[in-house]
């Protein structure tokens, strides 16, 4: 019988925190034993717990951590196609394959995510407007279903299970291994252009004019700026640097970075540390520190600035925080964005710089988040039920503009909002009912939102 530990776990936002029986198998044969023999009740796969809310929680049930199932199985240096176990992380992939000239084709703002977690959330990166989400680069994966059977899923085989599992937040079964196409690069650096925008109109105009020149594009917005400064931001856009783009000192070893020392936040900060005043100071400093124009930066600084401080989520204190991310339809985007920023600024809630990106077309994942439009992500400290009420109010604005909220970030959407935002839910539920008729795979989030008949 597989061994488990009763543990209190949470997502990256440290809210909510819930107890579950946690299994950490080391071999594939043990995964099957957990899937079939773990005590009656529900089960959920979990990677590195970088989803923010309750997507990787299963209160009172079982959770299977796949982090020890992280081997590389095969790699084709001609095509960049990699086979790996689902617990392999983007950090593992970068360490092993960047020196050979390959980069993850899509990366979230942290490299501490597993391949299983990335597929289950159908993650997007700063290149969504050009390249789409991770789904575009997943050739196939193996899924263990509730019966213990393993299905090879791809665009040709078990297609229903493929599109329900991509973005399906672990509710169709356990992804065991995947085949991904990596991107060929010449260096570990990004040729970046910074452009400061004094307000929202300027930022949106700059996005509209220049984005097609850049594979990666993002803007950091100062959410405390109001009135004529509303939407004050810094656009940060770039392309993989070729060897020729690099200064001479870096050309000799273009695919290697010197190891950097990481800082760490040792304890939860007290609640008062993050006030609108301290956040305002930080945001003003951040806005000022970027020099407009071209620069060359290493991939770590460009993609993963937050990863340089380990446990940075502790600055929000014991009560944790919410990350809120919504996408809204094109055309209507700027009105929705303005309304969200106005509400945020008027609430005087302390949000660190928020992130704005443009999204291209969605992937076909039945519960995938991306859709064409603009996406805004922001962090808010948890100050209690008032924060939840505030976020649910933002949900209403997003819904009015035909948008949706990202499940990997959500901790407090209502069932009604979710059902209205995700019109493919009935199709998802139908596929889930076939794969998992007794609703064995379930999460705290799926029960809260009524996914898969969960109550
Ligand atoms: C700093 C930071 C920045 C981020 N930036 C972005 C971003 O830019 N874009 C973006 O899309 N996301 C972003 N995220 C969110 C993150 O990419 C996703 O939540 C991702 O799913 C986390 O991967 P994980 O391995 O930690 O999965 P977990 O958080 O452990 O799990 C997430 C979901 O995946 C399921 N799952 C995990 N492993 C498996 C498996 N083997 N089989 C089946 N289901 C599984 C879980 O059940 C759960 O529903 C960010 C998160 C952080 C902390």
* Domain boundary assignment for the chain: 72-185, 189-412
Cα–Cα distance, 88 to 93 (Å, whole number): 7
Instruction: Please name the CATH architecture into which domain 72-185 falls.
Output: 2-Layer Sandwich (3.30)
- The DSSP bridge pattern shows strands 81-85 and 72-76 to be antiparallel
123 CA distance to ligand 1 centroid (A)? 7
CA distances from 263 to 187, 210, 283, 299, 359 (A): 25, 35, 20, 18, 32
With 0-12 CB in 10 A as exposed, 13-18 as middle and 19+ as buried, what is 307?
A: middle
pLDDT at 91: 97
The pTM of this model reads 0.96
Residue nearest to atom 15 of ligand 1 (CA): 51
Find out if CATH 3.40.462 is the number for domain 189-412. Answer: yes
Ligand 1 and 114: CB distance under 6 A? yes
Instruction: Point out the ligand 1 atom lying closest to the alpha carbon of residue 369.
Output: 11
Cα–Cα distance, 32 to 11 (Å, whole number): 25
Tokens 């964005």 sit on residue: 337
440 CA distance to ligand 1 centroid (A)? 20
pLDDT at 455: 44
- Reduce the DSSP state of residue 399 to 3 states and report it: helix
* Both tokens assigned to 142: 């193996």
pLDDT at 140: 98
Ligand 1 and 143: CB distance under 6 A? no
User: Measuring CA to CA, which residue among 443, 427, 450 is closest to residue 364?
Assistant: 427
405 CA distance to ligand 1 centroid (A)? 15
The contacts of residue 416 (CB under 8 Å, 6+ apart) are none
Q: What is the pLDDT along the chain (455 residues), one digit of tens a residue?
A: 688 999 999 999 999 999 999 999 999 999 999 998 776 689 999 999 999 999 999 999 999 999 999 999 999 999 999 999 999 999 999 999 999 999 999 999 999 999 999 999 999 999 999 999 999 999 999 999 999 999 999 999 999 999 999 999 999 999 999 999 999 999 999 999 999 999 999 999 988 888 889 999 999 998 888 889 998 999 999 999 998 999 999 999 999 987 777 777 776 766 655 666 666 666 666 667 777 878 999 999 999 988 888 888 888 888 999 999 999 987 765 899 999 999 998 888 867 779 999 999 999 999 999 999 999 999 999 999 999 999 999 999 999 999 999 999 999 999 999 999 999 999 999 999 999 999 999 999 999 999 996 44
Longest dimension (CA), the chain: 64
pLDDT at 130: 96
54 CA distance to ligand 1 centroid (A)? 11
Cα–Cα distance, 431 to 439 (Å, whole number): 12
User: Measuring CA to CA, which residue among 427, 341, 419, 348 is closest to residue 387?
Assistant: 348
Ligand 1 and 111: CB distance under 6 A? no
């Amino acid at each position: 019988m597989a061994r488990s530990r009763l543990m209190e776990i949470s997502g990256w936002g440290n809210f909510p925190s819930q107890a579950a029986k946690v299994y950490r198998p080391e071999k594939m044969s043990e995964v099957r034993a957990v899937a079939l023999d773990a005590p009656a009740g529900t089960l959920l796969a979990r990677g590195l717990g970088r989803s923010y809310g309750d997507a990787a929680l299963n209160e009172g049930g079982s959770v299977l951590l796949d982090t020890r199932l992280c081997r590389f199985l095969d790699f084709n240096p001609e095509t960049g196609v990699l086979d790996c176990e689902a617990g392999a992380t983007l950090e593992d992939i970068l360490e092993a394959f960047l020196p050979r000239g390959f980069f993850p084709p899509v990366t979230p703002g942290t490299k501490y995510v597993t391949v299983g977690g990335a597929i289950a959330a159908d993650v997007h990166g700063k290149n969504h407007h050009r390249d789409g989400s991770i789904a575009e680069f997943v050739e196939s994966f193996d899924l263990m279903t509730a019966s213990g059977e393993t299905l090879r899923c791809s665009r040709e085989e078990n297609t229903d299970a493929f599109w329900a599992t991509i973005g399906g937040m672990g509710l169709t079964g356990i992804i065991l291994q995947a085949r991904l196409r990596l991107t060929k690069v010449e260096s570990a650096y990004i040729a970046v252009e910074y452009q400061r925008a004094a307000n929202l109109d300027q930022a949106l105009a700059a996005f509209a004019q220049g984005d097609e020149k850049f594979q990666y594009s993002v803007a950091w917005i100062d959410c405390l700026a109001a009135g004529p400064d509303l939407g004050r931001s810094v656009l940060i856009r770039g392309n993989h640097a070729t060897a020729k783009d690099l200064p001479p000192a870096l050309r000799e070893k273009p695919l290697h970075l010197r190891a950097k020392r990481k800082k760490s936040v040792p304890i939860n900060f007290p609640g008062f540390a993050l006030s609108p005043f301290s956040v305002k100071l930080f945001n003003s400093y951040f806005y000022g520190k970027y020099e407009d124009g071209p620069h060359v930066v290493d991939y770590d600084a460009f993609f993963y600035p937050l990863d340089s401080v380990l446990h940075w989520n502790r600055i929000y204190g014991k009560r944790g925080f919410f990350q809120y991310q919504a996408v809204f339809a094109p055309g209507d985007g700027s009105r929705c964005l303005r309304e969200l920023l106005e509400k945020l600024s008027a609430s005087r809630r302390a949000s660190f710089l928020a992130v704005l990106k443009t999204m291209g077309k969605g992937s076909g994942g039945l519960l995938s988040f991306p859709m064409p439009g603009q996406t805004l992500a922001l962090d808010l400290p948890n100050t209690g039920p008032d924060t939840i009420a505030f976020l649910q109010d933002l949900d209403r604005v997003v819904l009015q503009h035909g948008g949706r909220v990202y499940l990997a970030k959500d901790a407090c959407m209502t069932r009604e909002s979710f059902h209205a935002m995700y019109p493919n839910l009935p199709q998802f539920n139908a596929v889930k009912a076939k794969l998992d008729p007794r609703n064995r795979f379930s999460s705290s989030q799926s029960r809260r939102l009524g996914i898969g008949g969960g109550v």
